[in-house]
Structure 1
């Protein structure tokens, strides 16, 4: 008997520090009107007392063990050591298709088309994802020498009418065009595909030197088999000032650039998923003159909207104090 097709969004949560991010991801997905469930993979390091809250919000939870490579690793940040476990989304073969999301994201518009559109994945052993922005605006020394604006996939997009994603035919034309960002990945889970990924993780000599663990691994495993999608679906917050030609619409009154939900309201082609890389709004209040202060203000506005909704819900109002203790004191100004 053929199984009933199921689809889902999936994210990973390994500790309570990222719980505020997950809660706001869930809230903004519901505000955008998604029809699919959010499945949360939790490891033993995530406190079990929070599971009841996730389930009361309608999330499905699955307990997993950490997935790690064998041998020593050189990581650019300690927080990346848990991210290999995201790859267990590929093992969820009870689902026909999954969109894997990082929990430091918020949703600005409905993205169910990523689960519904049959053309996004050419075959079931492909994935779809966004390009990695390799402009290196902060001049970090772990970037390769060819990482510069001229070689960025988003530079290509912003130079084309309508800012389309880089065509698959050009992905192999530059090394940097083949680099993906794993913050959002569209995939078709299967045991065979998952076993292939784990085998690569445990046997490839390149794993030990991967700067961005799961991201670099997916780029290697799916060389020639990943479909670039629009910048909108994984808009890292730094795109706002690194690639403003993509971020802002110039159709506003008086030529004023539209962005955020206002741009989506007007034209529907703005940020769909905002990715809060590096500093997290709920962990750190940025200086008012920071280039990322504006997007952090958006996170806090959504957080206040979520808390207000909880205050009107008898089942959730009792949890407000507990989750408020997990966010930094003081809003982004």
Structure 2
């Protein structure tokens, strides 16, 4: 890996906005991060199809952004993944790989746009390149019920790409571009290939509480993985996205978790002068 040439304190949080339906998610992520008194700002990566409206909203909300060329999976990869039932919006996730071009930063903490930051996570910048959280959220309920396949178990013991720490460098970027042309899978599968030794590198395994799947919160509690007050980052990984949900039964754990997001969303829209 080619080392960065910038100052070692040049750091930032980063998210990607490839689909404008996620704009409210970016605003909410930014607002929630600010409430934790972060040591570094949030940078939003846009692709070159981003509308003037999106850029205006981010500017009005005082959120820095950078425009980079749009990245795409092969058509055959998209077709294959959609046949497996993946949401078509995941086609946009290739843009996440652009984070490796941010060589003006010595280190970044990447956050998906459908996340909510509840506690200060500045300590994550102390972790090494290629650090991430185990993907237990995809199997937490089958584990609770004792009903899971060997394939599910193996998949869940890799990392989830919704949050990771990296040192941007062009060697890793080129490797990702090569995998983009050959790998049948979204950004997560490509990053798992890039950091294939992650499972055997305990120093790169971030706390589970930094990437908790919101829809599975009850299962995390039941299995003793964590309690709600332990959560540092909530990940609203499934559809519908939380900014689309308006009806809540706050007596259920899942709806209460989504209601919390709604409260942050309303404050984020007011802060951005959009409500």
Question: Where on the TM-score scale, by shorter chain, does this alignment land: which range?
Answer: 0.7 to 0.9
Deviation of the 1:44 alpha carbon: 3.3
Q: Is the 8 A contact 1:90 1:193 kept in 2?
A: yes
Q: Is the 8 A contact 1:180 1:219 kept in 2?
A: yes
Give CA-to-partner distance per residue, 1:237-296, whole Å, 9 cap, x none: 134122211232xxxxxxxxxx3xxx3xxxxxx111111111212113456376521110
Whole-angstrom CA distance in 2 between matches of 1:176 and 1:19: 30
Aligned counterpart in structure 1 of residue 232 of structure 2, from 272, 277, 281:
272
Task: Name the residue aligned to 1:94.
Answer: 104
Q: Contact between 1:97 and 1:189, CA under 8 Å: does it hold in 2? A: yes
Residues 90, 191 of structure 1: 8 Å contact kept: yes
Q: What root-mean-square deviation, in Å, do the aligned CA atoms of Structure 1 and Structure 2 show? A: 2.4
- Matched residue, 1:214: 187
Matches of residues 163-202 of structure 1 in structure 2 within 5 Å? 175-176=154-155, 178-202=157-181
Match of 1:129 in 2: 132
Residues 1:113 and 2:113 are matched in the alignment: no
Count residues with an aligned counterpart: 252
The match for 2:20 among 8, 13, 16 is 16
Instruction: With the length of structure 1 as denominator, give the TM-score of the two structures.
Output: 0.69
Aligned equivalents of 2:104, 2:72: Cα separation in 1: 23
SS in 1 for 2:190: helix
Instruction: Quote how far apart the aligned CAs of 1:111 are.
Output: 0.8
Structure 2 unaligned regions, length at least 5 = none
* Residue 214 to residue 114, structure 1, CA distance change in 2 (3 Å): same
Q: 1:103-137: CA deviations, max 9, x gaps? A: 1111101111112x1xx21xxxx401111124274
- Closer, same or farther: CA 190–51 of 1 in aligned 2, 3 Å: same
Deviations for 1:218-246, whole angstroms, at most 9, x for unmatched residues?
Answer: 11221114621111111111341222112
Is 1:284 aligned with 2:259? no
TM-score by length of 2: 0.83
Deviation of 1:145 after TM superposition, in Å, equals 3.1
Match of 2:208 in 1: 231
Partner residue, 2:150:
146
Point out which structure has higher relative CO (alpha carbons under 8 A, 6+ apart): 2
Distance 1:147 1:297, change over 3 A: farther
User: 1:297 corresponds to which residue?
Assistant: 259
CA contact (8 A) 2:72 2:95 kept: yes
Question: Of the two, which has the highest radius of gyration?
Answer: 1
Unaligned 5+ residue runs, structure 1? Answer: 152-174, 249-258, 264-269, 311-315, 321-333
Pick closer, same or farther for the CA change 1:80–1:228 going to 2, 3 Å.
Answer: same
1:91 is displaced (CA, Å) by 1.3
Find runs of 4+ consecutive structure 1 residues off by over 6 angstroms: none
Deviation at 1:65, TM superposition (A): 2.0
